[in-house]
Chain A
Amino acid sequence: MKHLLTVADLDRGTATELLDEAERFEQALLGREVKKLPTLRGRTVMTVFYENSTRTRVSFEVAGKWMSADVINVSASSSSVSKGESLRDTALTLHAAGADALIVRHPASGAAHQIARWMEQWAREENRAAPSIINAGDGTHQHPTQALLDALTLRQRLGDIEGKRIVLVGDILHSRVARSNVILLNTLGAEVVLVAPRTLLPVGVEAWPCRVATSLDAELPGADAVMMLRVQAERMNGGFFPSAREYSINYGLSERRLGLLGDDAVVLHPGPMLRGMEIASAVADSPKAAVLQQVTNGVHMRMAVLFRLLVGTQEVAA
């Protein structure tokens, strides 16, 4: 495995191995005084974020540092990107400066794929090794490490993923988290249900490996897990629903709705949460919510991904 661009590239075996390895990293660091492994010593990992982020960037940085990699953070607003440098030039520059891996977040879908293609082409021409590209979110397309850490959290909370019913609620249209989760959860054998207003469902959703419903109340009693998605106002250019208040009443996870869930059901949210909008504050702080566990798992999951991509001789691409 050279790059991690989409969860569609992960078969069930590989995905399960990555989840297992994330748990190994958790065990390896449990109760340690020195949270430092020498595994990536001498490797340079750069995060390149063209969009804001707290969780993803920080957990990649922590994951890299705990494995002794040198981690450098580049944000678009404080780099030459703001002077008009192209994506390709920025990526080549960072590789020339010594990056072994680029962790990329970009508002355009397919940006990470494009960088990986440029890098592979450049590496062939120069006869050098291309850096590994990790997609940390591209537009409304994919966010693979988020889906992996969600799967890890679900597996820990539910014991298994196979046969479990996972309900994704909210702004599916703009959500790369939803797209990645639908694919990965399907790969891992879960039953996925989407609940959203029609206006926030993408064209072609019928072809996805999941069921679509519109009533949240009807889906909650049978759900093993609910994943609440943020309404992504920054990607919206029109009226997708009449008012935030109406959206919250129809699709928000209120305390009343929390009561509809089974005793062992778990509530996930990829963050950032808008308390009072898609999730009530009391629900976000309830024992059913796994939001902070998701963040902790995110660090271990990203360690497993860096380990997989940066360690070992790469097999020849098929």
Chain B
Amino acid sequence: MAVPERAAKTGAGETSQRHTPEWVAAGRELLSPSDVNRTVARIAHQIIEKTALDSGDADAPRVVLMGIPTRGTTLANRLAAKIEEFSGVRPALGSLDITLYRDDLRSRPHRPLERTSVPDGGIENALVVLVDDVLFSGRTVRSALDGLRDLGRPRAVQLAVLIDRGHRELPIRADYVGKNVPTSRAEDISVLLTEHDGHDGVYLHQEAQA
């Protein structure tokens, strides 16, 4: 049964206040477009080194990149392209919407669901690398771990993030970090990616959005 992808859903993606031009203009640039590109390339190299996915070893685990929508999925796409460019091996790609696993569903307004897709072959016994843009409280990652458990049993799960801004509320850490940014809770981070926002960049704001 063919399920045509809705054109409207593949376009701009999430457009929260955090990504509007006015909001961005009020912030301080942490990463320039070329910084974002270099950082993604470095994480790709680190993933290749740490997972040895190009070793050709029969015992080496199958690597699956699972992006967390919306911008984590975009970052996972970019990482997969870089990894293929550097190592000649293209890792499997998936997308995991964590909305249905959130622990704040009752206290927040209704939010639309994003696309979930599991690569052919699933995640059973694979080395899954979760990919997201910002690591903050760790609750998103916890939800993603819950979601993964329902999809299968990976050999191991690792975490790659573009920005780690601290303030963890759960015992979770990233295996690959693009940039550590010490922030206060009153501050806010926006990650902009060309596919959604027209250009790349990471910005810090003094005041968190309401």
A37 to B1, CA, bound (A): 23
Contact of B118 with A by CB under 8 A: yes
Per-residue CB contact flags for chain A residues 295-318 toward chain B (1 = under 8 Å, else 0) read: 000000000000110011101000
On chain A, the residues within 8 Å of B100 by CB distance are 28, 37-39, 67, 307
Main secondary structure of the interface of B (DSSP, over half): loop
> Among residues 71 to 86 in chain B, which have CB atoms less than 8 Å away from a CB atom of chain A?
none
A20 to B110, CA, bound (A): 14
* In the complex, number of A-B residue pairs with CB atoms less than 8 Å apart: 68
B108, B114, B117, B118: the one contacting A312 at CB < 8 Å is: B108
Establish whether residues A39 and B105, one from each chain, have CB atoms under 8 Å apart when the complex forms: yes
How many positions in chain B have a CB within 8 Å of any CB in the partner chain? Answer: 28
Known contacts A21-B113, A24-B113: A313-B108 contact under CB 8 Å: yes
A315 to B109, CA, bound (A): 8
A23, A28, A34, A312: the one contacting B110 at CB < 8 Å is: A312
A20, A32, A308: the one contacting B150 at CB < 8 Å is: A32
On chain B, the residues within 8 Å of A38 by CB distance are 100-101, 146
On chain A, the residues within 8 Å of B110 by CB distance are 307-308, 311-312
Establish whether residues B116 and A156, one from each chain, have CB atoms under 8 Å apart when the complex forms: no
A310 to chain B, nearest CB (A): 9
A39 to B150, CA, bound (A): 13
On chain B, the residues within 8 Å of A156 by CB distance are 1-4
On chain A, the residues within 8 Å of B9 by CB distance are 20
Contact of A246 with B by CB under 8 A: no
Contact of A27 with B by CB under 8 A: yes
Chain A residue nearest in CB terms to B1: A293
On chain B, the residues within 8 Å of A27 by CB distance are 3, 115-117
A301 to B97, CA, bound (A): 18
Per-residue CB contact flags for chain B residues 85-123 toward chain A (1 = under 8 Å, else 0) read: 000000000000100110001111111111111100010
Q: Nearest 9 CB-CB pairs, A to B?
A: A312-B110, A24-B113, A39-B100, A28-B116, A37-B100, A34-B150, A311-B105, A312-B109, A21-B113
Listed in ascending order, the chain A residues whose CB lies under 8 Å from chain B are: 17, 20-21, 23-28, 30-34, 36-39, 67, 156, 159, 293, 307-308, 311-313, 315
Listed in ascending order, the chain B residues whose CB lies under 8 Å from chain A are: 1-4, 6, 9, 97, 100-101, 105-118, 122, 146, 150-152
18 more A-B residue pairs beyond the given contacts A24-B113, A28-B113, A293-B1, with a C-beta to C-beta distance below 8 A: A20-B6, A24-B97, A27-B116, A28-B116, A32-B151, A33-B151, A36-B150, A37-B100, A39-B101, A39-B105, A156-B1, A156-B2, A307-B100, A307-B113, A311-B105, A313-B106, A313-B107, A315-B109
